[in-house]
């Protein structure tokens, strides 16, 4: 389910997970996504990597936010999420991280499959 993915033009691996996840989920390149998130952050007077900023940006790109049910908050992993949602385009918020999930595969620089999802954004047309 993990697909190694790093669209960062300088191949950096730290600090830009929101940019990478949003780029993959929206189909935009890293540069365009970064500039869009910086602009959104400027308008909100917050950092582009802030959950509120990339969340507001995803909302403007036809994504809706959903909460992960609290039935077993420490035993439900990103792998479980991918199995439960085998179709569609999502950005999943993990503690201090974000990843794109598309059709049951998650796209990330490292294998975050055992991380615990907190909430997710789903593209409306999916």
Query: Could you read off the pLDDT of 64-104 as tens digits, one per residue?
Result: 999 998 888 788 999 999 999 999 999 999 999 999 999 99
Q: What is the rounded distance in angstroms from the CA atom of residue 98 to the CA atom of residue 17?
A: 6
Which sequence spans correspond to the domains of the chain? 2-123
Confidence of residue 44 (pLDDT cuts 50, 70, 90): very high
Which is nearest to 65 in space by CA: 113, 33, 98, 110?
98
Confidence of residue 126 (pLDDT cuts 50, 70, 90): low
Quote the pTM value.
0.94
The residue whose two tokens read 């909460």 is: 67
């Amino acid at each position: 389910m993990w697909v190694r993915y790093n669209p960062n033009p300088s191949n950096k691996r730290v600090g830009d997970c929101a940019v990478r996840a949003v780029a993959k989920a929206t189909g935009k390149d890293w540069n365009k996504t970064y500039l869009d998130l910086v602009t959104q952050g400027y308008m909100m007077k917050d950092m582009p990597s802030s959950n509120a900023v990339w969340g507001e940006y995803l909302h403007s790109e036809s994504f809706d936010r959903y909460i992960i049910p609290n039935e077993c908050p420490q035993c439900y992993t990103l792998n479980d999420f991918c199995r439960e949602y085998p179709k569609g385009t999502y950005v999943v918020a993990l503690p201090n991280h974000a990843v794109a999930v598309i059709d049951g595969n998650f796209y990330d620089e490292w294998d975050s499959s055992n991380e615990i999802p907190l909430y997710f954004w789903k593209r409306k047309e999916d």
